[in-house]
Structure 1
Amino acid sequence: MPQVFEFKLPDLGEGLTEAEIVRWLVEVGDVVAIDQPVVEVETAKAMVEVPCPYGGVVTARFGEEGTELPVGAPLLTVAVGSEGALGPVGLVDSGSGSGSGSGAEAGSVVSAVGSGAGSGGAGSGSGSGEAEASGNVLVGYGTGAPVARRRRVRPEAMAVPAAAHVTAAAAVSAAVPDAVQGPVAVVSPLVRKLARQHDLDLRQLAGSGPDGLILRADVESAIRALTEGAAAATPTSASVPESVSAVQPSRPSVAQPAASSAVERIPLRGVRGAVADKLARSRREIPDATCWVDADATELMAARSAMNSAGGPAAGPKVSVLALLARICTAALARFPELNSTVDLEAREIVRLPEVHLGFAAQTERGLVVPVVRDAQARNAESIGAEIARLTEAARTGRLTPAELTGGTFTLNNYGVFGVDGSTPIINHPEAAMLGVGRIVPKPWVHEGELAVRQVVQLSLTFDHRVCDGGTAGGFLRYVADCVEQPAVLLRTL
């Protein structure tokens, strides 16, 4: 007889205690292979696909898309058994609808289906003891071994007593209303988040994208329609555009204030919540200070142009300004290792770190993230640039792993991309320093005793005053500025 195994949300590492379900990759009744991804979740660090350690048939899902689950909470159940152990089918999707598919209802389907279930299609015998003990629905199909593809279990292919089949069908119908069955055609986590904040039921929203895909514009249009309807106090949907006329709040709404006095509440969770916690801790624990200097970056820009225009054996991938600045940082940290350290408060010690794991700030739709280039001290500018490009693309698509977002020892913050000259950033706890780079713009500059127009950049260093004094921080920043003004200075360390 098949056995039902409960798969719980695993520990995703890096101290993460919860995750939000973004998208289910399997449906109830699908056959899954061992280690096949079954759900996509968003943690405080990144979006990850969670593989299932069991092979068999998905019998139940727990939690609808958009639900936050703690580590250790049930995700789904899988029926694992021999090919010949085919029993009655009862499918429950606890992740569909608005709270109707609960674990208790799943257990009621087991009671209805498990009794009178035979094996091998004979239609006689008693139900499996494992089924009743598990409290979950059994689907008697699956070998527990990897399968080539996902398949939907067809009830007509199994020998099911008529009474049990009718009872199971009725229970499933009650647990999962027809109006809310099936996956929601949404890809972007931002769209889901926007809908949750305004109590929109995505299952009742018609998407304008390919194959009915719900886009951000669809959600925003629905929000405007609901807001205008509430402000005008018109209970009918006559003024609502046709594409959103069916949109209703996913749960009963309460009296809303006038549009002019509406207060928007945005939950601090996910990536934004993790960033908020880290920045608040940095402000509480780190006595930071900032120093800055203007530097003539004309020679650095000329050197970059020469690198990228070189042909023959010297030709290679394009090198970005950020990659050159990152290489300058690793050279500066070799001279001033005090800034590549952290503070152990319990031991009251400054811990100097031998490797430079260089973080760089990247702005994405999900908020600010800081991917980390591992062992940057052992890389040249070309290698650093290639890794920055890879991590930036992963950040934009939400595919960074927790390991790629943690473990940094020094951060490079290029806020010049926002068109600003300077900043006093908050140190990325538990690091000891952060170098900020403003925009590079033409400015009047005294060059070789004459006034000229040069490419000028402002560099700022925010540092933990516990690990060094102003002299060390100033020496580090001056060396970086010298390398920017005269890139040949780097030849000493290459």
Structure 2
Amino acid sequence: MAQVLEFKLPDLGEGLTEAEIVRWLVEVGDVVAIDQPVVEVETAKAMVEVPCPYGGVVTARFGEEGSELPVGAPLLTVAVGATDASSAAPGDDGAAAEEPSSGSGSGSGNVLVGYGTGAPAARRRRIRPERNTASAAPAVVSAPSRPAPVAVAVGEVNGRQGPVAVVSPLVRRLARQHEIDLRQLTGSGPDGLILRADVDSAIRRAGEAVAEVEARTTAESVVAAAPTVHAGTAAPATAERIPLRGVRGAVADKLSRSRSEIPDATCWVDADATELMAARAAMNAASGPSGGPKVSVLALLARICTAALARYPELNSTVDTAAREIVRLPGVHLGFAAQTERGLVVPVVRDAHTRNAESIGAEIARLTELARTGKLSPAQLTGGTFTLNNYGVFGVDGSTPIINHPEAAMLGVGRIMPKPWVHHGELAVRQVVQLSLTFDHRVCDGGTAGGFLRYVADCVEQPAVLLRTL
């Protein structure tokens, strides 16, 4: 006999409390293997494929693509041990049986942090119901291993006195959470049984009614505030509303928190990057056509940052506001800003202080490719201690970066371009770059920040300065 198990949205780590369903990877009726990815979700950190810890037949899915679910909400139900269509026949509205222990063999036990055990995924196949199987809503499944007790509430049902038949505690709880009066619902199950699908429909209807009222109120407010439109003039356009959610919402929250909590200050300097560009060209020429990947300017600047942080560790720290303490961090986990179709993300190069320019460059290239394809994990987007922001790729000279909370500083790099420059007492055309350092004034004073920035500029102008730390 099949046992119906409910798989809930797991804790994806890093304090995330919700996720948006981007794409379902399975359909109701598909057969799934243990740890097979079943849905692709987007969190505030990354896009994640969520594997199911059970193997069996998918009997229900909860949530449409584009909807957001909180951690712990049902994702889908799986009939474990179903060998034919009758094992997954609908019946009791999706209430889950007790989950097996991790050693029971019916599940992996890995309610992940974004990953499963790596077991190979089986090919999906659809179990088609027999022709004489009674039809019911897809979200309704039966657990024949034990009959579910029917909870009865006495009251008026659609204008008449009588019992309110509800099989699942899940349905009662869902109705309570959304203030749905079960006495006002007509059950679509056998003998008027109220199913989860009935409650979901009532929730949608209530939500649509509220949205309609809010939209009408908003429209009336806009019309009241809008200037009078005279004959022959165009009507004012309606303002567009864009939800702040996913990556965009997470960035907005972090930047707002940074501005509200951190007393930041910015200093900047122009530097002659001609020698740095020449050194990079020499490195790449020495490697030859098959000598490995080229060293990027960003990789050299990242290596300069790690050397500067070794001299000025105050900027590789964070502030514990509750304890009123500055926390000096032992290693440098270097974040770098990357613009993607999903918005701005900051992948982190772990233990950057132990890497040379070539190693840092290779890791930056790997993480950048993952960012572009939306495959960065939450762990690869968190835990940074200092951020490097190369906004010069957008063709701008300077900026005042906002610190990536809870870090203490960010170095911004503008475009490198030919400019008139006094070199050895004579006016010359040199490759000039503007460097900007935004720092948390709680962790250090301007002297420390200025010393850090001046050292970075010296390394840019005279790369041989780095030889002391290589």
Structure 1 counterpart of 2:127: 153
CA contact (8 A) 2:19 2:41 kept: yes
CA contact (8 A) 2:303 2:360 kept: yes
Structure 2 counterpart of 1:269: 245
Structure 2 counterpart of 1:484: 460
Q: Does 1:360 align with 2:336?
A: yes
Structure 2 counterpart of 1:322: 298
Aligned-residue sequence identity (percent) comes to 83
Q: Does 1:380 align with 2:359?
A: no
Structure 1 counterpart of 2:75: 75
Which runs of no fewer than 5 residues in structure 2 stay unpaired? 98-104, 108-118, 142-210, 224-233
Structure 2 counterpart of 1:307: 283
Letter in 2 for 1:149: R
Letter in 2 for 1:402: P
Structural mapping, 1:97-108, within 5 Å: none
CA contact (8 A) 2:85 2:129 kept: no
Structure 1 counterpart of 2:263: 287
Compared CA separation, residues 489 and 134, structure 1 to 2 (3 A): closer
1:482, 1:425 → 2: CA distance? 21
Which structure dedicates a bigger proportion of its chain to helix? 1
Which runs of no fewer than 5 residues in structure 1 stay unpaired? 91-108, 112-130, 136-142, 176-250
Compared CA separation, residues 154 and 132, structure 1 to 2 (3 A): closer
Structure 1 counterpart of 2:273: 297
2:291, 2:309 → 1: CA distance? 29
Structure 2 counterpart of 1:423: 399
Root-mean-square deviation (Å): 2.7
CA contact (8 A) 2:60 2:139 kept: no
2:95, 2:304 → 1: CA distance? 63
Deviation, 1:174, is: 12
Structure 1 counterpart of 2:30: 30
CA contact (8 A) 1:47 1:398 kept: yes
Structural mapping, 1:114-193, within 5 Å: 134=96, 144=106, 148-156=122-130, 162=132, 165=133, 167-168=134-135, 171=137
CA contact (8 A) 2:298 2:361 kept: yes
CA contact (8 A) 2:94 2:139 kept: no
1:44-88: per-residue Cα shift (whole Å, max 9, x none)? 1110000000000000001110110000000000001164x7635
Compared CA separation, residues 173 and 472, structure 1 to 2 (3 A): closer
2:95, 2:245 → 1: CA distance? 36
Give 3-state SS (helix, strand or coil) of 1:51's partner: strand
Structure 2 counterpart of 1:19: 19
Match of 2:314 among 324, 335, 338: 338
Give 3-state SS (helix, strand or coil) of 2:86's partner: coil
2:436, 2:379 → 1: CA distance? 28
2:282, 2:344 → 1: CA distance? 33
CA contact (8 A) 2:29 2:58 kept: yes
Q: Does 1:394 align with 2:393?
A: no
Compared CA separation, residues 470 and 171, structure 1 to 2 (3 A): closer
2:290, 2:425 → 1: CA distance? 35
Structure 2 counterpart of 1:231: none
Structure 1 counterpart of 2:191: none
Q: Does 1:472 align with 2:448?
A: yes
1:21, 1:307 → 2: CA distance? 46
Give 3-state SS (helix, strand or coil) of 1:407's partner: coil
Compared CA separation, residues 28 and 305, structure 1 to 2 (3 A): same
Structure 1 counterpart of 2:2: 2
1:353, 1:174 → 2: CA distance? 53
CA contact (8 A) 1:33 1:144 kept: no
Match of 1:446 among 417, 422, 425: 422
Structure 2 counterpart of 1:351: 327
1:483, 1:65 → 2: CA distance? 50
